[in-house]
Amino acid sequence: MDFELRVETHPEQKAATLRLVDSDGVQRGYHQVSFPDQGPAFWEGLFDTRRFVRRYTGSLLWDGQTEPATAETLLERLGAFLGQQVLGAEILQRLGGWQHRSLTVHLPAAADDVIAAALARVPWEIARAEAGSRPLMGADLVVRAVTDDVKTGPGGEADDRHRARPADPLRVLLVFAEAPGSRPLAMRLERERLLSLFYGEILPRRRVEVDVLCHGVTRRRLEDVIRARGGYQVLHWSGHGHHNLLELRAADGRVDRLTGGELLQVFRHAGGFAPQLVFLSACLSGTLVDAKDWAEFRARSPAAWTSRITRIARSNAGRAAWTCWGRSRRSRSNWARARTSEREPASSSTAR
């Protein structure tokens, strides 16, 4: 079952209307949300979950508790707040009552809408009815968010023509990029584990082709491998990141930084289309603004920062994207298994 959460924002009223519809366009749930000027810290947690968990782990103490909150407790409480205050009981019940579903959160254009930009940051999959109950991601719900300016952006139809068909091999590019002088990361271990997974469990049974790019990755090398392969449907990028920036090596040996929009253009110009799935394992690769709390978030001028969501979201080509910070190796393996489980078996597979 596929669902779409249609979000209509009302900036002047500081509110939003959420309508859940199924694949037939039938409305299955409705909820109105108000955004107070002053409210619980959970609003901050929804818009910058990573910072929220780091700030309050081991220091926040709720009424009746004798021990400070753990990261797991914070996420449970945050998920309950999201389910109760944002999604509402009716929508949450519908989403939690099915197995193997997808949810597309359809938002207005974010460049001119502060509320849409905020809601694009929400980790919808952690929503739950109450602390301790199963979150939506525990029911195999796959969530992606798309804004109007991304959904109608250029290149969408061309990208659709290059979707991997069941009979075709799925092309995967693993990029491990680092700039000179950067703090070392455990990319070698990550690379070896991923290749072991592909060679041992995926390539013998699935039509998948995987290439690896590492050791001095430059824009030119990236373009060359994309052009030689004719593009990739899946990109896994591991390395250092900043706000809407990924680090790599410049041709002269210095530090080079690639924005989300530039990464998108590299794939479209060299390969003809953008990847359908982008996995970013880089710090701050999923942040859209640098506001530290809800008050600062609301005080920012939309013209000053909301355009960042357009650049980053367009780099995902309006497709599914999973941005992570410090995922475990088991999570990476589970990701690769999930992305290849639908491919048809092949008599032979190739890898580089």
pLDDT band (50, 70, 90) for residue 236: very high
Share of the chain above pLDDT 70, in %: 72
pLDDT beyond 90 at 29: yes
Per-residue pLDDT tens digits for 155-207: 444 455 555 566 678 999 999 988 777 777 788 888 899 999 999 998 898 88
pLDDT beyond 60 at 281: yes
Per-residue pLDDT tens digits for 217-229: 999 999 999 999 9
Residue 328 pLDDT:
35
pLDDT band (50, 70, 90) for residue 287: low
Residue 341 pLDDT:
41
Of 176, 141, 155, 114, the closest CA to residue 302 belongs to: 114
Per-residue pLDDT tens digits for 56-77: 898 887 777 788 889 999 999 9
CATH architecture of 158-283+325-340: 3-Layer(aba) Sandwich (3.40)
Per-residue pLDDT tens digits for 119-142: 888 999 999 999 889 998 887 788
pTM for this one? 0.57
Of 117, 47, 107, 44, the closest CA to residue 307 belongs to: 117
Q: Please tell me whether residue 301 adopts helix, strand or coil conformation.
A: coil
φ, ψ for residue 268, nearest 5 deg: -70, -40
Residue spans of the domains in the chain: they are 2-151, 158-283+325-340
For residue 317, what are the CA distances in angstroms to 266, 310, 320? 13, 10, 8
Q: Measured at the alpha carbon of residue 99, what is the angle toward residues 97 and 103, in degrees to the nearest 5?
A: 85
pLDDT beyond 60 at 333: no
> Which range, 193-207, 275-289, 314-328, has the best average confidence (pLDDT)?
193-207
Greater model confidence, 26 or 146: 26
Q: What distance in Å separates the CA atoms of residue 106 and residue 219, rounded to the nearest whole number? A: 33
